[in-house]
Amino acid sequence: MSLTPPIKSPSASPPPGEAAVTETAEEVHAARTLADARPPTDEEILTVDDLTVEFPTDDGVVRAVRGLSYTLRSREVLGIVGESGSGKSVSSMAIMGLLPRTARIRGSIRYRGQELLSLRPKEQRALRGRKIAMIFQDPMTSLNPVRSIGDQLAEAVLAHHLVPRRQALARAREMLDLVGIPQAERRLKAYPHEFSGGMRQRVMIAMAIINNPDVIIADEPTTALDVTVQAQILEKLLEVKDEVNAAILMITHDLGVIAGMAHRTLVMYAGKPVEVAATDDVFYEPRMPYTAGLLGSIPALDGERDARLRPIGGSPPSLISLPPGCPFSPRCPLATDVCRTEEPGLTDVGDGHRAACHHSGRLAEAEDATAFFRTPKEGR
């Protein structure tokens, strides 16, 4: 069985020192953005339809995901953004079939038209890591500290392909090359602790793409890394996406990470999608106050907004006892009576841009939607 398509090697990297393998300064300048990437096609790879996930607990039912729908097209990068606890990871674990048995899952998740929620565990495992791969936030929890990197990468190949071990190791070396790990042949024998955090995350990317997946789910892949390394890893992810022709679900709590990285962005709040649009539209024309609040809390690239940075006040609601109406209403500066009684559905606000808000028109009229989150003293 073939492991092709063949994958090009990257340009040569400078030789490393003997210390932990770390990123090279040269790569910082090899910036790659979505504009350099191959565009998405119309082919739908993954379709999530009205997904709900609940966890019965002693304190009550945790309504972690409450009707999530989206489609992911071939080669598309979809950003999923939201504060901690908004249901980002639970929804992606549902795709991977990794939720605990106690989870009550409803709705539909289709991979190339095939329903994943009705697959048997064995069928799920066959798909996982091969057609749909996941990169987690902390590589150390996914890598085995007492096994060499080469062993672990080869094992990922052998789990899905009947090939000689030698061939699996050759594939592992090719992948390390591709993700920019210098002296790949030698590094196959190294252990995870011999790599820096950024390089370990590169190994995780290598692991994710080693079987040519169609979908890569990256759940906060760079949160633990410093800003420079973060940018390098994201660029590398965009590069390898094109090499293996995969689509990416990029999950993050930081809207700043999505800029220049995702074709479309879906914002989640309290288990629900509250805004979905082309990423530029989310940034420049937000139609849901929560999105505007998130935007107001990230530094602007030109530094202009820095002086007025403001986190959204209050905290997300309990998923066991959600407030009536719009779950964002206790924190929303635009809330009115209707917001406190009726939860708005996701509706089209133009050009495929969808938002769940009774007053999205007010944001459309505002010169700067983030200004709603400033105190009167700071001015609007």
| Closest distance to ligand SF4 from the beta carbon of 62 (Å) | 21
Torsion region of 112: left, alpha or beta (phi above 0 gives left; psi -120 to 50 gives alpha): left
Q: Which does 335 bind (CB under 5 to 8 A by kind): ligand SF4, ligand ATP, Mg ion, none?
A: ligand SF4
Residues 278-297 that bind ligand SF4 (CB under 6 A): 288-290
Residues 245-264 that bind ligand ATP (CB under 6 A): 253
Q: Which does 253 bind (CB under 5 to 8 A by kind): ligand ATP, ligand SF4, Mg ion, none?
A: ligand ATP
Asked if 89 interacts with ligand ATP (CB under 6 A), we say yes
Q: Which does 329 bind (CB under 5 to 8 A by kind): ligand ATP, ligand SF4, Mg ion, none?
A: ligand SF4
Facing residues of 348 across strands?
A: 354
Amino acid at 10: P
Facing residues of 152 across strands?
A: none
- Count the site residues for ligand ATP by CB under 6 A: 15
Check if the beta carbon of residue 292 is closer than 8 Å to that of residue 373: yes
Residues 359-378 that bind ligand SF4 (CB under 6 A): 359
Of the pair 34, 322, the CB lying nearest ligand ATP is at 322
Q: Which residue has the tokens 């749909």?
A: 132
Alpha helices by DSSP H, the chain:
25-28, 88-96, 121-127, 139-142, 149-158, 165-178, 184-187, 197-209, 227-244, 255-258, 279-284, 289-296, 360-365
Helix (H) or strand (E) holding 56: strand 44-57
Whats the size of the chain, residue-wise?
380
| Closest distance to ligand SF4 from the beta carbon of 310 (Å) | 16
Residue from 234, 240, 294, 339 touching ligand SF4 (CB under 6 A): that is: 339
Of the pair 80, 205, the CB lying nearest Mg ion is at 80
Q: Which does 357 bind (CB under 5 to 8 A by kind): ligand SF4, Mg ion, ligand ATP, none?
A: ligand SF4
- Give me the 185-224 binding string for ligand ATP, x by CB under 6 A, dash otherwise: ----------------------------------------
Residues 6+ apart with CB under 8 A from 210: 153, 156, 157, 171, 172, 175
How many CB atoms are located within 10 Å of the residue 73 CB? 18
Amino acid at 97: G
Of the pair 80, 369, the CB lying nearest ligand ATP is at 80
DSSP state of 128: B
Asked if 216 interacts with ligand SF4 (CB under 6 A), we say no
Asked if 346 interacts with ligand SF4 (CB under 6 A), we say no
How many CB atoms are located within 10 Å of the residue 243 CB? 18
Residue from 252, 357, 369, 373 touching ligand SF4 (CB under 6 A): that is: 357
Burial of residue 257 (CB within 10 Å: 0-12, 13-18, 19+) is buried
Q: Token pair for residue 91?
A: 């929804």
Residue from 81, 90, 205, 229 touching ligand ATP (CB under 6 A): that is: 90
Torsion region of 16: left, alpha or beta (phi above 0 gives left; psi -120 to 50 gives alpha): beta
Q: In what order do the strands lie in the sheet with 264-269?
A: 132-135, 215-219, 247-252, 77-81, 264-269, 272-278, 353-355, 347-350
Residue from 47, 86, 89, 265 touching Mg ion (CB under 5 A): that is: 89
Asked if 58 interacts with ligand ATP (CB under 6 A), we say no
Report CA torsion sign: 89, 91, 92, 96.
positive
| Closest distance to ligand ATP from the beta carbon of 321 (Å) | 12
Asked if 175 interacts with ligand SF4 (CB under 6 A), we say no
Compute CA 218 distance to the chain's CA centroid, rounded to the nearest angstrom: 4
Of the pair 322, 335, the CB lying nearest ligand SF4 is at 335
Residues 307-326 that bind ligand SF4 (CB under 6 A): 326
| Closest distance to ligand SF4 from the beta carbon of 86 (Å) | 14
| Closest distance to ligand SF4 from the beta carbon of 339 (Å) | 3
Break the chain down into helix, strand, coil percent, rounded to 5: 35, 20, 45
Note the residues at the interface with ligand SF4 (CB under 6 A). 288-290, 326, 328-329, 332, 334-335, 339, 344, 357-359
Binding site for Mg ion (CB under 5 A): 89
List residues binding ligand ATP (CB under 6 A).
55, 57, 62, 64, 82, 84-90, 100, 253, 319
